């Protein structure tokens, strides 16, 4: 340990002795480490965003059951199936304990929301869904003010509505209290009982979460009896109680639905797994790509350090001879030169991390949120490991050369 410190001390003396040469080498390492840390930061930022948006769609434990057309050979019998209905939700509730949350949803076609002559027209028009409180959990909605549906709302098919923040913004003046007020849904008055939290994740100036704000919920029973006049579901979403039981849950749900539909496969059960798989494979390819960039930068910095060390050894043949004559073992010489190389690369690494941090700070302030690099501890770790390994790897060969020098030849050297 003591020798290592004296080696590092020596390293500083040598660096000071060849300022320009050392500066160039250090900048080599600095650029390598900075680009490494920056790339890692960008990758982490990108994947963090993607992962968040996966979570916003219900995460991996979400299972989607939707109606779909039957296969040709089943077509003549398709009328025996009642289709995807509220009864299916009740059957799943009763028969599939692995289904933690079950959310039956009926979407109103071409809904029209209006109040005092103002009509909501979102980018894609507002969506109005007949739901239960389960949707809040499955799709991660939070009530900003007011309340969720009560059992009475469900039982009595009450005309109550929960609206998204965008709808509130368009139908109400900023000072108006929406909770308790009435708005018209397809010309039928509904009392607002809650307003959803405002969701925002900007990609440039575009809010990628606007779809969560341009939405309104009414009780699924109200939607079935008073608007759609049938209990046919648009979606039946399920959240598995345990991710590790996802497959079993999907199988059980499929069986129950097939039973309910008298063997007619007029539904489709999917999961987020495919998206997740593509997330994982993209991430893997990015890691490989990042690894390749790291490898090239490592190589470049390594070559710079090795070049410097070899030049320095040529200049210091005599010093090596003297050190050997006064009792340095080959290992002493070897560790001295490795320590010098590590000192160089550590200086470069520290400078590189500093530059990268500054750049990330600047980019975070100027780039639109959503595409900014993240400053993570792993980036520092990468920078540190990177520079030390560049130093050690590039130092080994010159250090071996130095250790192998014959002291007599070295002393004769002029």
Partner 1 sequence: MPLGLEVLRLDRVGKRYPMGDVIVDALVDASFTLREGEAVAILGPSGSGKSTLMHLLGFLDSPSSGEIFFENRPVSSLNESQRARVRAEKIGFVFQAFNLLPRLSVRANVALPLAYHGSPPSDAAERVSRALELVGMTNRAHHKPGELSGGQRQRVAIARALVNEPRILLADEPTGNLDSKTAATILDLFQELNRLGRTIVVVTHSPEIAANFRRQLHVRDGRVTEGGVT
Please work out the total of residues on this chain that contact partner 1, with binding judged by CB under 8 A: 23
Residues 243, 248, 249, 252, Cα dihedral to 10°? 180
Least distance from partner 1 to the Cβ atom of residue 404, Å: 10
Is residue 4 within the footprint of partner 1 (CB under 8 A)? Answer: no
Q: How far apart are CA 191 and CA 193, in angstroms?
A: 6
Of 136, 252, 328, 338, the residue at the interface with partner 1 (CB under 8 A) is: 328
Q: Which two tokens stand for residue 278?
A: 């593509």
Q: Which two tokens stand for residue 408?
A: 């007599």
Q: Which two tokens stand for residue 239?
A: 């959240």
Is residue 110 within the footprint of partner 1 (CB under 8 A)? Answer: no
Is residue 13 within the footprint of partner 1 (CB under 8 A)? Answer: yes
Residues 51, 207: contact at Cβ < 8 Å?
no
Q: Which CB, 6 or 198, lies closer to partner 1?
A: 6
Residues 270, 272, 278, 281, Cα dihedral to 10°? -120
Is residue 6 within the footprint of partner 1 (CB under 8 A)? Answer: yes
Of 8, 87, 154, 322, the residue at the interface with partner 1 (CB under 8 A) is: 322
Is residue 317 within the footprint of partner 1 (CB under 8 A)? Answer: no
Q: Residues near 112 by Cβ (< 8 Å), separated by ≥ 6? A: 119, 120, 184, 185, 186, 187
Place of tokens 């000072």: 175
Q: Which two tokens stand for residue 232?
A: 């046919």
Q: Which CB, 260 or 336, lies closer to partner 1?
A: 336
Least distance from partner 1 to the Cβ atom of residue 27, Å: 23
Residues 238, 99: contact at Cβ < 8 Å?
yes
Is residue 2 within the footprint of partner 1 (CB under 8 A)? Answer: yes
Least distance from partner 1 to the Cβ atom of residue 6, Å: 6
Least distance from partner 1 to the Cβ atom of residue 12, Å: 11
Compute the Cα dihedral for 319, 321, 327, 329 and give only its sign. positive
Query: What is the DSSP secondary structure assignment for residue 232, as one 8-state letter?
Result: B
Q: How far apart are CA 346 and CA 361, in angstroms?
A: 22
Q: Looking at the chain, how many residues does it have?
A: 414
Is residue 11 within the footprint of partner 1 (CB under 8 A)? Answer: no
Is residue 321 within the footprint of partner 1 (CB under 8 A)? Answer: yes
Q: How far apart are CA 412 and CA 410, in angstroms?
A: 6
Is residue 212 within the footprint of partner 1 (CB under 8 A)? Answer: no
Of 318, 361, 381, 385, the residue at the interface with partner 1 (CB under 8 A) is: 318
Is residue 400 within the footprint of partner 1 (CB under 8 A)? Answer: no
| Residue-wise DSSP of 56-96 | HTT-TTEEEEEE-PPPGGGGGGGGG---SBHHHHHHHHHH-
Of 100, 111, 144, 407, the residue at the interface with partner 1 (CB under 8 A) is: 407
Is residue 358 within the footprint of partner 1 (CB under 8 A)? Answer: no
Of 128, 163, 323, 353, the residue at the interface with partner 1 (CB under 8 A) is: 323
Of 68, 119, 259, 329, the residue at the interface with partner 1 (CB under 8 A) is: 329
Is residue 284 within the footprint of partner 1 (CB under 8 A)? Answer: no
- Cα–Cα distances (Å) from 369 to 123, 199, 200, 274, 377, in that order, read 22, 14, 11, 27, 20
Least distance from partner 1 to the Cβ atom of residue 333, Å: 9
Contact region for partner 1 (CB under 8 A) — 106-114, 306-314, 325-333, 349-357? 325-333
Is residue 331 within the footprint of partner 1 (CB under 8 A)? Answer: yes
Is residue 62 within the footprint of partner 1 (CB under 8 A)? Answer: no
Least distance from partner 1 to the Cβ atom of residue 19, Å: 13
**246-260 vs 86-95: helix crossing angle, rounded to 10:** 130
Q: Which of 349, 343, 325, 326 is nearest to 399 (CA)?
A: 343
Of 319, 384, 389, 397, the residue at the interface with partner 1 (CB under 8 A) is: 319
Collapsing DSSP states into helix, strand and coil, what is residue 414? Answer: coil
Is residue 241 within the footprint of partner 1 (CB under 8 A)? Answer: no
Binding site for partner 1 (CB under 8 A): 2-3, 6, 13-14, 17, 318-319, 321-332, 407-408, 411
């Amino acid at each position: 340990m003591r020798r290592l410190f004296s080696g590092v001390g020596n390293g500083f003396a040598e660096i000071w002795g060849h300022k320009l040469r050392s500066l160039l080498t250090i900048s080599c390492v600095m650029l390598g480490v900075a680009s490494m840390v920056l790339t890692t930061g960008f990758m982490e930022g990108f994947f963090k965003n993607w992962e968040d948006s996966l979570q916003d769609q219900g995460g991996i434990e979400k299972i989607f059951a939707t109606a779909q057309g039957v296969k040709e050979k089943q077509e003549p019998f398709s009328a025996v199936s009642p289709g995807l209905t509220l009864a299916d939700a009740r059957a799943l509730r009763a028969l599939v304990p692995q289904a933690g949350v079950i959310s039956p949803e009926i979407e109103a076609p071409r809904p029209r929301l209006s109040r005092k002559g103002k009509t909501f027209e979102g980018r894609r028009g507002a969506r109005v869904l007949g739901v239960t409180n389960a949707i809040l959990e499955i799709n991660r909605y939070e009530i900003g003010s007011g309340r969720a549906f009560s059992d009475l709302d469900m039982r009595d098919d009450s005309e109550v509505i929960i609206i998204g923040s965008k709808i509130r913004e368009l139908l109400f003046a900023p000072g108006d209290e929406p909770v308790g007020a009435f708005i018209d849904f397809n010309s039928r008055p509904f009392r607002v009982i809650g307003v959803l939290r405002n969701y925002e994740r900007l990609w440039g100036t575009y809010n990628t979460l606007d779809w969560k704000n341009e939405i309104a919920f009414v009780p699924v029973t109200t939607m079935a009896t008073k608007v759609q006049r049938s209990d046919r579901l648009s979606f039946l979403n399920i959240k598995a109680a345990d991710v590790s039981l996802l497959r079993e849950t999907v199988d059980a749900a499929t069986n129950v639905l097939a039973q309910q539909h008298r063997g007619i496969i007029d539904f489709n059960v999917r999961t987020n797994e495919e998206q997740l798989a593509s997330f994982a494979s993209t991430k893997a390819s990015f890691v490989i790509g990042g690894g390749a960039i790291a490898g090239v930068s490592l190589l470049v910095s390594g070559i710079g350090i090795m070049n410097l060390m070899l030049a320095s050894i040529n200049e210091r043949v005599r010093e090596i001879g003297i050190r050997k004559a006064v009792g340095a073992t080959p290992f002493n010489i070897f560790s001295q030169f490795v320590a010098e190389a590590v000192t160089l690369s550590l200086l470069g690494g520290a400078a590189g991390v500093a530059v990268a941090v500054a750049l990330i700070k600047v980019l975070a302030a100027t780039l639109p949120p959503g595409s900014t690099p993240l400053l993570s501890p792993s980036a520092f770790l990468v920078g540190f490991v990177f520079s030390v390994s560049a130093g050690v790897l590039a130092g080994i060969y010159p250090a071996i050369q130095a250790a192998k020098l014959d002291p007599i030849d070295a002393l004769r050297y002029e």
